[in-house]
Amino acid sequence: MGFLWNLELGSWDFVAIAMTRRGQILFFLPALLVFLVFVLLPSTQTLIDSFYSHQGIKHPFVGTLYYRYAVTDPKFHQSLGNNLKYLLWTLLFEVAAGLALAVGLEKNTRFNNFLRVAFFSPAVLSMVVVGLVFGFLFKDGVGVLPGMLNEGRALLTISVISGWASAGFFMVIFLAGLANVPEDVLEAARLDGASARQTFWRIKLPLLKEVIYVALLICFTGAFKAFDLFWVLLPNQDHTSIVSTLLVKEVIRFDNQGYGSTLAVILTVLVLLSVAIIIGAKNLWRRGERRGPL
């Protein structure tokens, strides 16, 4: 590989190395190693653990016992229901709110730039920090708004907090999409007398569909993988558990690693299923566009 030594720079020509077959494999290996060690191996071990009982000294094979138990487990049903409710709320408080903020702050003015920074700032905070701050605000006896984490309000409260922390992130995504809307199309709409509402619904929103797909993917996967806020704000409340917090309780508190691994596998399947649904809907939409109106 002597020809890959850059005489002018006195160092290896990494671009030339990357262009070779051996160089491509060499550059790919670190990422593959990280994936194997931190993703594939733990996932495989979790799948194997879901077929064994880990309570006691011996670890007997139990087959699909834990999967059959999950079908009838009321705690799992409640947690899955909470996940679905949380998903619906996050679609409103994160995606829809982010789109509304992007449309409202689309014009590039100083005041709008200030508001963009203000709305995006919570997105850089750790959810654990956000949970601790709001937990103090809602704490009974000392909090400014006690009772917001009671049984009837807890899920909605957490959804609002999640929206406050994440709406700015989705706002930035939609702002990037709006910036790519062709100006000549908007100008033609204005010349035709289209109102701002008509321009949004008939021009901007259809052109944002690719961005909307990305936002939905992030929202769906995030709703099923949510953990931090629920664990920090409601560590001991079973009525507001979601699948991720339930599996942690099963493993840590009840030492039921087999059932916890089963819940982890089910959660992974749910995330993959949600991604498949969105991608499938996207492909169906594209086929309909190619065929055109009937």
Tokens 């709703």: give the residue. 223
For position 16, what pLDDT does the model report? 56
Contacts of 189 (CB under 8 A, 6+ apart): 198, 199, 202, 203
| pLDDT per residue rounded down to tens, the chain (294 residues) | 444 544 444 454 555 555 666 767 777 888 899 999 998 999 999 999 999 887 767 788 888 999 999 999 999 999 999 999 999 999 999 999 999 999 999 998 999 999 999 999 999 999 999 999 998 888 877 778 888 888 788 999 999 999 999 999 999 999 999 999 888 888 888 888 888 888 899 899 989 999 999 999 999 999 998 999 999 998 878 888 999 999 999 888 888 889 999 999 999 999 999 889 888 888 887 777 666 555
All CATH 1.10.3720.10 domain ranges of the chain, comma separated, are 67-291
Task: Please state, in angstroms and rounded to a whole number, the distance separating the CA atoms of residues 119 and 168.
Answer: 5
The runs of H, that is alpha helices, within 153-235 are 154-179, 183-191, 196-199, 205-207, 209-225, 228-233
Q: Domain spanning 67-291: which superfamily?
A: MetI-like (1.10.3720.10)
Encoding tokens for residue 235? 């560590």
